Amino acid sequence: MTGARLRLGAGVAVLAVVVWRVGTGPFLDGLRLVDAWSVAWACAITAITTLCCAWRWHLVSRGLGVEVPVRAAVAAYYRSQLLNLTLPGGVVGDVHRAVRHGREAGDVGRGARAVVWERTAGQVVQVALTVVLLLVLPSPVRGYVPLVALGLALGALVVALAGRALPRSGASRVSRAAGLAVHDVRHVLLAPRAWPGILLASVLVVAGHTTTFLVAARTAGVTTSFVALLPLALLVLAAMAVPLSLGGWGPREGMAAWAFAVAGLGASLGVTTAVVYGVLVLVASLPGAAVLLADARRRPLPVVAGPRDGLAVGGGVRA
């Protein structure tokens, strides 16, 4: 609870600083400028990205033996997105999705691992694409990106070496966790029948979120080229991945204000664009409200039984 309050407080603090620096005008402009055209585009793009996220979750859960059908995964993902956008922290929807699926699959550990690895795969691909594009495109942080790329590469190497060095069997929690992680990465994420789909889905999700931000920028009145806007969009999306938000607000507006100001477009325009983006993604996630209403019927999430890998969180080897 303390951690959640700290994250919420950090998001509120960032938002307060942004309001103090630019005033309330850019926020009001962002609300006023949203129109039917931008909403239609956002809804269409979000439908595609949600399908891709659901497909990625389907592939990961299948590898763990608790497969979620794509159709059911789409509904659950819409609900998850809406909860992430409307509740503090930005991860409540994912936690709910993991626990609910795990309970209905009869294995909370595997359900949680499916969501964790699905989200992790998406974040890894997003970081990789962001670094590559920021290396080749002019941006406010281009001079620092090589150092960031080197740091990420060293970090990945350390994690890989640690995974090989840590014992994967034994009674300790560290041993069990290491064994689970190595197993899941090798046999679930990197499985020949899974990794191409996971990679493709993740790339399409990043492309969809970036396109929605570009739509928001045009709606806010930004006239600069898409090539110049793309690095700014990637920076804002990276900031949104930090779980320090108040229903999605805070880091997004802070990064947009800074990035747009450094790029010469003005902090106020950056905040307006971020607000438009926030409104668009919230409206586009409203199908999740219908899923929440349908939850009153308590119909179980369909689960297709699959081959077990013999491992479960906190339970050692499973028969």
Tens-place pLDDT, residues 61-97: 999 999 999 999 999 999 999 998 888 777 889 999 9
- Using an 8 Å Cβ cutoff, are 53 and 77 in contact? yes
Predicted local confidence at residue 41, as pLDDT: 97
- Sign (positive/negative) of CA torsion 157, 159, 163, 166? positive
User: Could you tell me where the DSSP H helices lie in 23-138?
Assistant: 25-33, 36-63, 70-86, 92-105, 108-136
Q: With a cut of 70, say whether residue 60 has pLDDT above it.
A: yes
Mean pLDDT of the chain: 86
Predicted local confidence at residue 106, as pLDDT: 86
Q: In sequence order, what are the beta bridge partners of 12?
A: none
Task: With cut-offs at 50, 70 and 90, classify the pLDDT of residue 310.
Answer: very low
Q: With a cut of 50, say whether residue 125 has pLDDT above it.
A: yes
| Residue 24 φ/ψ, nearest 5 degrees | -90, -10
What average pLDDT does this structure show over 258-263?
93
Instruction: Residue 260: name the closest of 245, 277, 247, 248 by CA.
Output: 277
CA distance 25 to 11: 20
Task: With cut-offs at 50, 70 and 90, classify the pLDDT of residue 44.
Answer: very high
* Residue 100: inside a domain: yes
* Residue 113: inside a domain: yes
- Poorest-confidence range of 4-13, 134-143, 192-201, 202-211? 4-13
Total domains present in the chain: 1
Tens-place pLDDT, residues 206-245: 999 999 999 999 999 999 999 999 999 999 999 888 777 6
Q: Is 0.85 surpassed by the pTM of this model?
A: yes
Q: What share of the chain is helix, strand, coil (3-state, %, to 5)?
A: 75, 5, 20
Q: Strand 66-67 vs strand 316-317: parallel, antiparallel, or unpaired?
A: unpaired
* Residue 226: inside a domain: yes
Q: How far apart are the first and last CA of the chain?
A: 35
Q: Pick the residue with more confidence: 4 or 29?
A: 29
Q: With a cut of 80, say whether residue 175 has pLDDT above it.
A: no
CA distance 239 to 255: 6
Q: What is the dihedral of CA 294, 295, 298, 301, to 10 degrees?
A: 100
Q: Strand 304-305 vs strand 66-67: parallel, antiparallel, or unpaired?
A: antiparallel
Q: With a cut of 70, say whether residue 308 has pLDDT above it.
A: no
Q: With a cut of 90, say whether residue 289 has pLDDT above it.
A: yes
Task: With cut-offs at 50, 70 and 90, classify the pLDDT of residue 315.
Answer: very low
Q: With a cut of 50, say whether residue 42 has pLDDT above it.
A: yes
Predicted local confidence at residue 249, as pLDDT: 82
* Residue 84: inside a domain: yes
Tens-place pLDDT, residues 131-148: 999 999 888 888 888 898
Cα 80–86–88 angle (5° rounding)?
Answer: 100
Instruction: Residue 204: name the closest of 13, 54, 73 by CA.
Output: 54
- Using an 8 Å Cβ cutoff, are 220 and 276 in contact? yes
Q: How far is CA 228 from the centre of its chain?
A: 24
* Residue 10: inside a domain: no
Task: With cut-offs at 50, 70 and 90, classify the pLDDT of residue 283.
Answer: very high
What average pLDDT does this structure show over 281-293?
94
* Residue 5: inside a domain: no
* Residue 19: inside a domain: no
* Residue 228: inside a domain: yes
- Poorest-confidence range of 34-48, 143-157, 214-228? 143-157
Predicted local confidence at residue 46, as pLDDT: 97
With residue 316 as reference, give the H or E element that holds it. Answer: strand 316-317
Listed as own residue / partner, the contacts of 138-144 with beta carbons closer than 8 Å and 24 or more positions apart are 138/228, 138/231, 139/231, 139/232, 139/235, 139/263, 140/231, 140/232, 140/235, 140/258, 140/259, 140/262, 140/263, 141/231, 141/235, 142/231
Task: With cut-offs at 50, 70 and 90, classify the pLDDT of residue 311.
Answer: very low
Q: Which domain holds residue 139?
A: 25-317
What average pLDDT does this structure show over 87-111?
88
> Which two three-digit tokens encode residue 263?
């790029």
